[in-house]
Structure 1
Amino acid sequence: MTETVLAVLNQPSRDAAPHDPAADAFTFAGPLEEHIQVQDLGIIRGDGVFETITVVDGHPQAVEPHLARFERSARMLDLPVPDVDAWRRAVEAVCAELDPVREAFVKTVLTRGVEGAERPTGWVYAAPSGDSTAARTEGISVVTLDRGYRHDVERTSPWLLQGAKTLSYAVNMAALREAARRGADDAVFVSTDGYVLEGTRANLVLSVGGRLVTPRTDIGILAGTTQADVFRFAAEAGIETAYELITLDDFHAADAAWLVSSVRQAAPIRAVNGNAREIDAELTTRINEFLLAREV
């Protein structure tokens, strides 16, 4: 049984030398074996980027948008530019090796490598996904947490890397633990000047007067691949969409709300800060059916 698959890239970027000039672009390796040096900057400093790609019935979804964001994040960190062709081949290869399951995921990781070596480290990992049925059908509860930045931080302070999908997830994990301490499943970040941003690992989508609305992507949040596909669903369904500045009052007044992400897909929000809210079960079902049926 091949429950997990790992491919280690020999030359993650054409801008840097390969680890082994005579080796193939990537090699399969035992997922539980030792592969990463303890001095790798991805481990000791979180100096790297990653993507998580949904796999349904062996088919990786939204691969090109994920790889484009992977490359964009790497550029924001001044990492060697990923060799997208090599990464795409590795993604396809681990999916082909994984045992048939309905839902799985692929994680791509690129780090700066060992300090001074001038060679990045890269790997692609695939495994079955957990069961997200309850989150998709019963919904999730969230709390709102202050992120500590204004909504225009991406423009005023680009060195904070807001909008890049980096390995530095300590704050996100701390926010999840705080949400759990408050009896919630997840958190939604809010800027210091009162604008709703994103979840710890997901984008926010609201239903407002028959439209689907999400926070603008120029306010220091990650542009979501799943959110983009939710808007593609909306376009096909004749539902108007918009990217807007959203206040806390807007969030509370919305007709329905979801956190959308790879793996979990669209999870309706059933409570905010302990206050119950209505979920749109019918629209949620339609959105998730669309997301799980994606061919691109």
Structure 2
Amino acid sequence: MALPYTLIIDPLAADDDAEVDGTFRAVPADAPALRVGELSTQRGDGIFETIAVVDGHVQESEAHLARLVRSAEICELPVPNLRQWRAAISFALEQVPAEGELAMKLVLSRGVEHGPAPTAWLSVNPAADSTAARTQGIRVVTLDRGYDHGVAERAPWLLLGAKTLSYAVNMAALREARRRGADDTIFVTSDGFVMEGPTSSVIARIDGVFVTPRPSGSILAGTTQASLFEYIRVHDYPVAERDMTIDELRSAEAIWLVSSVRLAAPVVELDGVPLAIDAEPTDAFTRYLLSPRN
């Protein structure tokens, strides 16, 4: 069941506001909540986070809020008042079922064109069923992102390190993957380095080491990937955040695409070449990612 409200948040509330609960209001989910001139819908001019809610527990909320702050700074939006967002998250959790998997979305937009202030809101909806992806795996193709892996340093105005609402390219990449008979894609740079998926981070096991592309101005730091690496380290397996070439990816022993809601989906085919599922770590990753995590 979805949250019966959209929580409209005042993004200009000061950090020292004593009554942060009063800085957001609940609008019935079936009632109008945004204006036609909203720049989030007109231009994708805003940022967001999607947080998994599992059996009434919000997963990795602090990591998502920290990334929301980073995205706001990159996009020159008001820095989120985290006390206010935490209060809104707590209010939302009181309204949703204590069982099942849900997706909580936090959005901060530039606001209405020529309007006085930015807009922000929180909503919760049932998560898409990703059981098959977690257990049976996904077929993946690599797609050229169209620039080399040093572009973010040369062109920071591309906002590649922020989680923005401008997802048209990402959705086009998923449609292209399906045209090629695959379920998802991994972006690669024009000079042959692995980046990320349209909605996921990449983890590959290469010579026994769990490797993810080094977060940079071009690659969004993954909250689920970071949490999973902590889990892997605790179990004494080596991990590395470093540049990864496409040739290394294609020779990997196992590959996963990981995200907050889908969790860890093993790759069973890469660019038409079959890849075996390593069941033991895949099952362990799923159990861990479904467990309560702060």
Q: What is the aligned partner in structure 1 of residue 214 from structure 2?
A: 216
Q: What is the aligned partner in structure 1 of residue 156 from structure 2?
A: 158
Paired AA for residue 8 in structure 2: L
TM-score scaled to structure 1, two decimals?
A: 0.94
User: Aligned ranges for residues 78-93 of structure 1 at < 5 Å?
Assistant: 78-93=76-91
Q: What is the aligned partner in structure 2 of residue 98 from structure 1?
A: 96
Q: What is the aligned partner in structure 1 of residue 272 from structure 2?
A: 274
Q: What is the aligned partner in structure 2 of residue 226 from structure 1?
A: 224
Q: What is the aligned partner in structure 1 of residue 12 from structure 2?
A: 13
C-alpha deviation, 1:15, in angstroms: 6.5
228-237 or 111-120, larger mean C-alpha shift: 111-120
Q: What is the aligned partner in structure 2 of residue 191 from structure 1?
A: 189
RMSD: 1.6
1:119 counterpart (117, 120, 142) = 117
C-alpha deviation, 1:266, in angstroms: 0.2
Taking every aligned residue pair, what percent have the same amino acid on both sides? 47
C-alpha deviation, 1:128, in angstroms: 1.8
Paired AA for residue 49 in structure 2: E
User: Aligned ranges for residues 1-296 of structure 1 at < 5 Å?
Assistant: 3-14=2-13, 24-218=22-216, 220-296=218-294
What is the CA–CA distance in structure 1 between the aligned matches of 2:2 and 2:43, rounded to whole Å? 30
29-38 or 63-72, larger mean C-alpha shift: 29-38
What is the CA–CA distance in structure 1 between the aligned matches of 2:13 and 2:258, rounded to whole Å? 33
Conserved? CA contact 1:15–1:80, under 8 Å: no
What is the CA–CA distance in structure 2 between the aligned matches of 1:293 and 1:265, rounded to whole Å? 11
Conserved? CA contact 2:204–2:211, under 8 Å: yes
Q: Secondary structure of 1:24's match? A: helix
What is the CA–CA distance in structure 2 between the aligned matches of 1:165 and 1:184, rounded to whole Å? 24
What is the CA–CA distance in structure 2 between the aligned matches of 1:262 and 1:271, rounded to whole Å? 22
C-alpha deviation, 1:208, in angstroms: 1.5
Conserved? CA contact 1:7–1:90, under 8 Å: no
Q: Secondary structure of 1:96's match? A: helix
Structure 1: state its 5+ residue gaps.
Answer: none
Structure 2: state its 5+ residue gaps.
Answer: none
TM-score scaled to structure 2, two decimals?
A: 0.95
What is the CA–CA distance in structure 2 between the aligned matches of 1:166 and 1:48, rounded to whole Å? 6
What is the CA–CA distance in structure 2 between the aligned matches of 1:42 and 1:90, rounded to whole Å? 20
Conserved? CA contact 2:13–2:23, under 8 Å: no
C-alpha deviation, 1:295, in angstroms: 2.5
Matched residues, number: 290
For residues 55-95 of structure 1, give each alpha carbon's deviation from its aligned partner in whole angstroms, at most 9, with x where no partner exists: 11111010001000001101111011111111111112112
C-alpha deviation, 1:280, in angstroms: 0.6
What is the CA–CA distance in structure 2 between the aligned matches of 1:13 and 1:229, rounded to whole Å? 31
C-alpha deviation, 1:211, in angstroms: 1.4
117-126 or 133-142, larger mean C-alpha shift: 117-126
Conserved? CA contact 2:177–2:183, under 8 Å: yes
C-alpha deviation, 1:6, in angstroms: 3.1
For residues 8-54 of structure 1, give each alpha carbon's deviation from its aligned partner in whole angstroms, at most 9, with x where no partner exists: 334123369x9xxxx92112222222111010111111100000001
Paired AA for residue 27 in structure 1: R
Paired AA for residue 7 in structure 2: V
Q: Secondary structure of 1:285's match? A: helix
